[in-house]
Amino acid sequence: MGRSPFNGRLWEGFGPDPYLHGVASFLTVKSAQDEGVVTCSKHYLAYEQETYRKPFHVDDVALFPPNPISSDLDDKTAHELYIWPFAEAVRAGSGTVMCSYNEINATHACASDPALNTLLKKELGFQGAVVSDWGGTWDTQNSALFGLDVSMPGTGFAGRYGNFFGAELVALVENGTIPEKRLDDMVLRTLAPILELQNVKTWPRPTFNQSDLTVPTNNVRRDHYKIIRQIAQEAITLVKNDRTGGRGLPLAAPADMASLAVIGQDAGPAPFGMTACGSGGNNCLAGGNNGTVTMAGGSGFAYPPYTIDPLAAINAYVAADGPDINQHLENYNLTAAALQASVSEAAIVFLSAFASEGYDRANLTTYPNGDALVQAVAAVNKNTIVVLHVPGAVIVEDWIDHPNVTAVLVAHLPGQESGSSLVPVLWGEVSPSGKLPYTFAKSVSDWPPNGIVFDAVPAPQANFTEKLLLDYKWFDAKNITPRFEFGLGLSYTTFSFGKLSLQKSFKADSTSVQPTAEPFVKLASDSGKSMYDVLYTASVSIKNTGKVAGAEVAQLYVSFPAAEDQPPRVLRGFDKLSLKPGQQGTATFELTRKDVSVWDVSAQKWRVPKGSFTISVGASSRDLRSEVVHAFA
């Protein structure tokens, strides 16, 4: 989910908001399985740090505590935050769910009866298999009885990762400790997704072990570059743009520019090749310059077939009639960087940060030497533009208010089409339309304390005392002004919002591939049977009031009645409209029963609270343009 911005695997998820995360989980699972690929939704549950995850059974207690980190959280927080995205994955039909390395309230996640049997399999109605993370099994008997169906990697690696299941499982079934019907259940849950999807598609021959260049490969990419480029481009987020005196973005046409500086190691190619450092540290930032950062590290890393770095794309774009490109692809020689910037009409500084599975981020700075590099360039160039390739939030306070830093683009981790996705945005062929899926703070201390636990104790514990207040909800509840708020994303054009409308419009759930069994308290005269029945539809008109085409992502936020223990506002919808100058469209949001419910711990059911709700719509979590007050119960 992203409880802490320091989380090394934050980049693998969809952001710290459960609604946003849930929508992305649903669409990812459904689209993959529609193509005949069984999905594995992970990591269940509350896996929020790499430090002390202890996946392997290594007896060196000087380096590892005897138990992994325990994520200690209450029932309400679990339901309304951490289970929410998994509920969406389940109702999308996910074939498997992976249990995580951590403990949940002092019980191993892969042997937690409440988490696996009660919540996942009974309450959510999950019918697929629960598979352990690699080495996440700690025993056979409890894990099998309490919900684990597949242990990975079994007895591999000489049992170093846990010599569980296998022969031990057979023996426990034979002596009656584990009922035979439980074994049948494990087999059924494992085979059912495969049998369900086996006739969906005829698959091409797969390539095994992409990192071994001696293994024959099968090129199945076709025109995948198009969607890769589109995703990267639509994710680019403009968070600052000062157009005073013709500065900022978009840049002038290449024929109208005499010179442009391209600064920073993140702008260029990998001097030692993209695979030089392996998947664990693929950008080599710890050891030196390995060029532009396109993705982060760990098991989620994939070797790209090629990479179009920003400098290559810029050179290709301006080649016919463009400006001189004054490049400096190194971050420590500030004198040389400043020299190139001082003789250029504009300067683009590329900064990066890195994250990876296996460890949490040590800081939230751009490196190496990123802050000093921007300051050196901005001191001599009045149109300094910064592009960030980052796995999450970074601190930008050392330079963000510098009068010569005119524009900032957060390009995130764009993948192999990095440069080709960026160039049309720089020159205004495409207006940026991305929105931040997390908050940029002004200081590390602005986030909740104790996000990553480093206590070297036998049984480390992470107490989720912030409860529901993740990311923007924490900033809102504590009246902390962020640097860039959740949902922020500027454009080269402007948009006006009309008056928000809310209409009762019951529609039975028709989207769930696998209906969940989530319990809820029915409303009066309620004939619905699902948490995902649509109760109301909200809509708002949006007009492009600027001079260029653009896209706006309208966001719907819900504030619950004051009597409920809830954050000030929560995201409950978003709709993207592409509009030409002067064109008007309507953004529409369907509010389901779950969208306006809270988890009632006493009743152990979802409940629509009585009282007044405030429904707001706007361009970000802090730029709300219209609202409606309404009572749903």
Whether residue 344 contacts residue 381, with contact meaning beta carbons closer than 8 Å, is answered with: yes
Q: 22, 33, 31, 28: which is closest to 83 by C-alpha?
A: 22
| Positions marked active-site | 133
Residues whose CB is less than 8 angstroms from the CB of residue 551 and which lie 6 or more positions away in sequence, other chains included: 234, 431, 433, 491, 576, 577, 578, 579
Residues whose CB is less than 8 angstroms from the CB of residue 593 and which lie 6 or more positions away in sequence, other chains included: 520, 528, 530, 531, 532, 533, 535, 606, 608
User: Cα-flanking dihedrals φ and ψ of residue 385, to 5°?
Assistant: -115, 135
Q: 177, 178, 176, 150: which is closest to 164 by C-alpha?
A: 150
* Host H or E run for residue 474: helix 472-477
Quickly count: other Cβ atoms within 10 Å of residue 326's Cβ: 17
- Token pair belonging to 476: 């809102």
- Cα dist. 520→256, 493, 627 in Å? 63, 44, 27
Residues whose CB is less than 8 angstroms from the CB of residue 330 and which lie 6 or more positions away in sequence, other chains included: 265, 289, 336, 337
E strands within 291-359?
324-328, 346-352
Whether residue 498 contacts residue 556, with contact meaning beta carbons closer than 8 Å, is answered with: no
- Cα dist. 177→38, 142, 149, 183, 265 in Å? 31, 10, 16, 11, 60
SS3 content of the chain, % helix, strand, coil (to 5): 25, 20, 55
- Cα dist. 479→8, 123, 444, 474, 548 in Å? 27, 36, 15, 8, 36
Sign, CA dihedral 532-533-538-543, equals positive
**Strand 613-620's sheet: what is its strand order?**
570-579, 550-559, 613-620, 623-630
- Token pair belonging to 400: 């963000």
Whether residue 119 contacts residue 83, with contact meaning beta carbons closer than 8 Å, is answered with: yes
